[in-house]
Amino acid sequence: MPEAGPRHPKDRRGPRQATASRPRAARRGTSRGEGGITATQERRRQERVEKAAEYCVAVLNDGWTNVVSERAAEYVTEQTWNSLFSRRRRRRCKRLARTAAAILTGKKMLHDLVGAIAAWLAALLGGDRIVQAFARKLAANIPLPPDAKMVATARGLQVTGVLLCLVNGDDLTRCQCFIDLALEEAKTQVKKILVAAMEDWTALAQFPAKPAVVEQGTYGSAGR
């Protein structure tokens, strides 16, 4: 039986410590890999993620898991929250990352987000109805105008993905939601997003995607 995740919002088990791997030895060469990324570019991306993880790990080990779980509990039901942590945590992190990337890059500009998100998420996420339900309830219950709601929802999904990976005991550098944040933002901004998640999640609307990121679609999980 897999270890249960944080409860909603009480009766949680102690969170595991966040970990960040040390920089790995660089590989030489310029051969292009998947997506046309050279070995040098991939090495730089990895180093960026590792530096962000090292910078943020102290915040994530300072009661972050429990506090963020309480904030999320304000927007989704206990059943939805507990189901999200039941199994397949690593796979769900990737799907949360993909959904957040799609929202932030404007692939689906849902100005009527609450009314249209159910059908859209079903098409985007395939058969994972638990992730669909979580994203739908989060979007429906964040009390913001549509555009700000989209940003706060996307950031909330990314934060939840980081939380899933922490509960699963995964290294931050292998968490797709954290990877996307680290590749998009400076490490100081990533930390601000993670700290903001400890407050009312409407504050996450303060962190929209950068115009260059939206235009180029440079999220690690976008389009996957």
Least confident of 1-10, 77-86, 116-125, 202-211: 1-10
What does the pLDDT look like over 156-211, one tens digit per residue? 999 999 999 999 899 999 999 999 999 999 999 999 999 999 999 999 999 998 76
Q: Does a structural domain hold residue 6?
A: no
Q: Does pLDDT of 12 surpass 50?
A: no
In a domain, residue 195? The reply is: yes
Cα(35)–Cα(4) distance, integer angstroms = 36
d(CA 61, CA 93): 19
User: Beta partners for 32?
Assistant: 38
- Mean pLDDT of the region 121-142: 74
Mean pLDDT of 12-38: 52
List, in sequence order, every beta strand (DSSP E) within 63-186: none
pLDDT at 119 over 90: no
Distance, in Å, from the CA atom of 129 to the CA atom of 122, rounded to the nearest integer, reads 8
User: Domain limits at 180?
Assistant: 34-216
Instruction: Please check whether residue 189 lies inside any domain of the structure.
Output: yes
What is the pLDDT at residue 210?
A: 78
Is residue 15 domain-resident? Answer: no
Q: What local confidence, expressed as pLDDT, does residue 127 receive?
A: 54
Amino acid present at 72: A
Residues 45/178, Cβ–Cβ less than 8 Å: no
What integer pLDDT is reported at residue 166 of this predicted model?
93
SS3 for 38?
strand
Mean pLDDT of 101-109: 71
The answer to which of 25-29, 130-134, 167-171, 210-214 has the lowest mean pLDDT is 25-29
Number of CB atoms found within 10 A of residue 131's CB: 28
> pLDDT digit string (tens) for 37-94?
788 889 999 999 999 999 999 999 879 999 999 999 899 988 888 888 876 667 789 8
- Residue 95 falls inside a structural domain: yes
pLDDT in the model for residue 46: 94
**What's the number of domains the chain is made of?**
1
Residues in the chain: 224
* Per-residue confidence band for 7, with pLDDT thresholds at 50, 70 and 90: low
**C-beta of residue 98 within 8 angstroms of C-beta of residue 104:** no
**Torsion on CA atoms 134, 138, 139, 140, rounded to nearest 10:** 100
Asked, for residue 18, whether it belongs to a domain, the answer is: no
